Amino acid sequence: MLIDLKKAAEMLNEADNILILTHANPDGDTLGSGYALLRALLKAGKKARLINNDEINRKFAFLYEGVPSYDFAEDFIVSVDVAEKKLLGDNVLEKYGDRVNLAIDHHGISRLFAENTFCESESASCCELLYLVIKEMGIELDSGIASCIYTGVSTDTGCFRYSNVTPRTHRIAAELIEAGADHSRINVAMFETKSMNNIMLERMCLDSLRSYADGKIALIAVTKAMLDECGTDKSALDAIKPITRQIEGVEIGITVKEEDGDKVGVSIRSSESFDAAEICAHFGGGGHARAAGCQFRGKTVEEVSGTVVDYIINEIIK
Amino acid sequence: MLIDLKKAAEMLNEADNILILTHANPDGDTLGSGYALLRALLKAGKKARLINNDEINRKFAFLYEGVPSYDFAEDFIVSVDVAEKKLLGDNVLEKYGDRVNLAIDHHGISRLFAENTFCESESASCCELLYLVIKEMGIELDSGIASCIYTGVSTDTGCFRYSNVTPRTHRIAAELIEAGADHSRINVAMFETKSMNNIMLERMCLDSLRSYADGKIALIAVTKAMLDECGTDKSALDAIKPITRQIEGVEIGITVKEEDGDKVGVSIRSSESFDAAEICAHFGGGGHARAAGCQFRGKTVEEVSGTVVDYIINEIIK
């Protein structure tokens, strides 16, 4: 059942022995939401704890440092930033997937898997909703809660950079800083810190950078050997994919990456003049207009690069 | 004379035939301030124009597009984001340096060169002050004015990332978005676009990256040959200097650059555990605790790198 903010706050105020679930491969928004709620519930004198399916990157350690841990049989389960059940991750899914009493989420594609769902898809982050929920519960923000909420508000908007930012996002950020959110230190940790391995990968990717069609197309090719040599895994590619499109004059940015098996993946980012999803659809893939992907089998990275670039030059840019 | 917001707004409301001056090598804050004020004055039915000493990077073209240009003998001169007279640039300085009626500025080190100065050094950007001035003048924001102000608010805070951001910064950003500031497009142009030449320089700099003292020190060396090969000038180094300190585990990041004559410049960025200004002072330089610089003569980039790293290893990190 879909419920509103007031009802969600009421349910949490009435509950005790509360278990909080985040999504798997947790990011700043799900962890910020979860730990903000955990801190708020503990502050209100309730028993609460948080679990997630995977290891937490240590850059998020400040979210939970100093928070006491309780063990208890849970009477109420709440998920944060989880758009559908399977995103809880296998272990959590198996144990708690069918027992979630309240889901708080901000995804447009949110599936109703919980008994009650408070979802607002216009919200830039789930943490914006947690701000509203915690205020509605009558719990005063402190610097710990504010820092948790700020983390999701900032990371899910690329530090207030993306088009999902609304006036409310900024007004909430103002309140969080007033409540003591350690904003600039959080932003350094979230946005200005890269591992040496990722820097090495970036360097190798820039070495592989090629451009076509008078600079309208840029392509980066990533092989498994490169990932191995840098000691990084696929997650490091998140920082690589935007590079091509950020180059002045580039309309279509392509990242080609060797994957497990005999697969080669292609990510395309495009300017407003071209439709990345349409290009990828030609190769059996799909996605959004500005960011899409497709996959090839039984071809080398070189062959796939040539195929995709030729198609774009001959059929799309012309 | 130092004046307050109310007086500054009053003076502008009483003036006409107004010339607006920015600082030389204009950035987003001085241009955003200047064009916001220009648009507001024209909207109020006054004659106004803006000049600056140097060429404006074309990524700022949206600030002045569609703004009519008038020629007239100026009766009132106002400077924006200019901390001292010589920052106007040689040509503007010579012609108007001693005739500025009102300076609006936010620099802590602001020198009083104008007849009247409205300066608030706690303001993250000069554009924050222009927001206040234009509101105080009773001129309603439109999307053009709001986009100009947003540009300075965003660029002078690294897109709301730096420690100079205050609750007021966010509240003003909220108002600007409501007034129609094209925030996400501005952020793409300001933060997500790099020239191919700058990307090439970044690649070469990453190739030169070395680390010392178990990864606590990272060093990038930039030669004139590298700048020449990439077709970039010194301004491209602004994007290079932060790289070393962004690497996980690095406490002291060093950028060594070959300069004109027989000079070699050194930029040091440090974590909170070390004092960059102190390190640079040892070599006759100075600066801030987290970012400082010094200069050597008659030595090669290699020799300077060795000298600085040896000193830090032997005397600072120990």
**What tens digit of pLDDT does each residue of B138-149 get?**
999 999 999 999
Query: What pLDDT shows up at residue B182?
Result: 97
Is residue B101 scored above 80 in pLDDT?
Answer: yes
- Looking at residue A24, which CATH number applies to its domain? 3.90.1640.10
Test mutation, B128, B160, B197, B200, chain A, max A CBs within 10 A: B160
Both tokens of B88, joined, read: 């106007």
CA A145 – CA B68 distance, rounded (Å): 49
CA B212 – CA B252 distance, rounded (Å): 10
* Same-domain pairing of A57 and A202: no
- Angle at which helix B143-155 crosses helix B183-191, to 10 degrees, equals 40
* Same-domain pairing of B174 and B246: no
- Angle at which helix A167-178 crosses helix A143-155, to 10 degrees, equals 150
* Same-domain pairing of A18 and A138: yes
Domain hosting residue A40, numbered range: 5-191
Q: Could you tell me the pTM of the whole model? A: 0.85
Quote the mean pLDDT of chain B: 93
Both tokens of B223, joined, read: 């030669």
* Same-domain pairing of A278 and A252: yes
* Same-domain pairing of A213 and A170: no
Cα–Cα separations (whole angstroms), residue A74 to A47, A78, A85, A99: 9, 10, 19, 10
Other Cβ atoms closer than 10 A to B98: 12
Domain boundary among A142, A160, A191: A191
Q: Do B174 and A194 touch (CB under 8 A)?
A: no
Instruction: Specify the higher pLDDT residue, A17 or A318.
Output: A17
Query: What pLDDT shows up at residue A97?
Result: 95
Non-local CB neighbours of A15 within 8 Å, separated by 6+ positions: A46, A75, A76, A101
* Same-domain pairing of B58 and B205: no
Instruction: Specify the higher pLDDT residue, A287 or A16.
Output: A16
Q: Do B170 and A171 touch (CB under 8 A)?
A: yes
Q: Which of B267, B295, B274 is nearest to B213 (CA)?
A: B274
User: Chain A partners of B174 at a C-beta cutoff of 8 Å?
Assistant: 167-171, 174
Contact B67, B20 (CB under 8 A): no
Q: Smallest Cβ distance to A170: which of B173, B196, B243?
A: B173
Residues of A with CB under 8 A from a CB of B: 154, 159-163, 165-171, 173-175, 177-178, 183-184, 187, 191-196, 199, 202-203, 206-207, 209, 211, 215, 242-243, 245-249
Test mutation, B206, B216, B270, B272, chain A, max A CBs within 10 A: B206
- Tokens 């994957």 identify what position? A259
How many domains does one find in chain A? 2
User: Chain A partners of B269 at a C-beta cutoff of 8 Å?
Assistant: none
- Please count the residue pairs, one from chain A and one from chain B, whose beta carbons lie less than 8 angstroms apart: 111
Is residue B263 scored above 90 in pLDDT?
Answer: yes
**What pLDDT digit, counting tens, does each position of B25-50 carry?**
899 999 999 999 999 999 999 999 99
ipTM value: 0.85
Q: Smallest Cβ distance to B166: which of A177, A196, A246?
A: A177
**What pLDDT digit, counting tens, does each position of A113-134 carry?**
999 999 999 999 999 999 999 9
Q: Do B246 and A193 touch (CB under 8 A)?
A: yes
**What pLDDT digit, counting tens, does each position of A228-265 carry?**
999 887 778 878 888 898 898 999 999 999 988 899 99
Is residue A66 scored above 90 in pLDDT?
Answer: yes
Test mutation, A170, A200, A205, chain B, max B CBs within 10 A: A170
- Residue in A closest to B193 by C-alpha: A246
Domain boundary among B191, B215, B242: B191
* Same-domain pairing of A264 and A162: no
Domain boundary among B136, B157, B191: B191
Is residue B246 scored above 90 in pLDDT?
Answer: no
Q: Do A184 and B163 touch (CB under 8 A)?
A: yes
* Same-domain pairing of A34 and A154: yes
Q: Smallest Cβ distance to B193: which of A163, A171, A248?
A: A248
Is residue A107 scored above 90 in pLDDT?
Answer: no
**What pLDDT digit, counting tens, does each position of B171-203 carry?**
999 999 999 999 999 998 998 888 888 889 999
* Same-domain pairing of A139 and A277: no
User: Chain B partners of A61 at a C-beta cutoff of 8 Å?
Assistant: none
Instruction: Specify the higher pLDDT residue, B233 or B246.
Output: B246
Q: Do B183 and A165 touch (CB under 8 A)?
A: yes
Contact A41, A18 (CB under 8 A): yes
pLDDT band at A183 (very low <50, low <70, confident <90, very high): very high
* Same-domain pairing of B30 and B147: yes
Q: Do B161 and A192 touch (CB under 8 A)?
A: yes
Q: Do B207 and A202 touch (CB under 8 A)?
A: no
Q: Do B175 and A183 touch (CB under 8 A)?
A: no
Average pLDDT over residues A294-305: 95
Question: What are the residue ranges of helices labelled H in chain B?
Answer: 5-14, 28-43, 61-64, 90-96, 126-136, 143-155, 167-178, 183-191, 196-207, 224-230, 276-282, 301-311
Both tokens of A137, joined, read: 């519960």
* Same-domain pairing of A96 and A33: yes
Q: Smallest Cβ distance to A194: which of B175, B199, B246?
A: B246
| Shortest Cα distance, chain B CAs vs residue A176, angstroms | 8
CA B278 – CA B290 distance, rounded (Å): 10
| Shortest Cα distance, chain B CAs vs residue A154, angstroms | 9
Q: Do A206 and B187 touch (CB under 8 A)?
A: no
pLDDT band at A7 (very low <50, low <70, confident <90, very high): very high
CA B100 – CA B275 distance, rounded (Å): 38
- Residue in A closest to B178 by C-alpha: A167
Q: Do A192 and B246 touch (CB under 8 A)?
A: yes
* Same-domain pairing of A216 and A113: no
- Looking at residue A250, which CATH number applies to its domain? 3.10.310.30
Query: What pLDDT shows up at residue B19?
Result: 98
User: Chain B partners of A240 at a C-beta cutoff of 8 Å?
Assistant: none
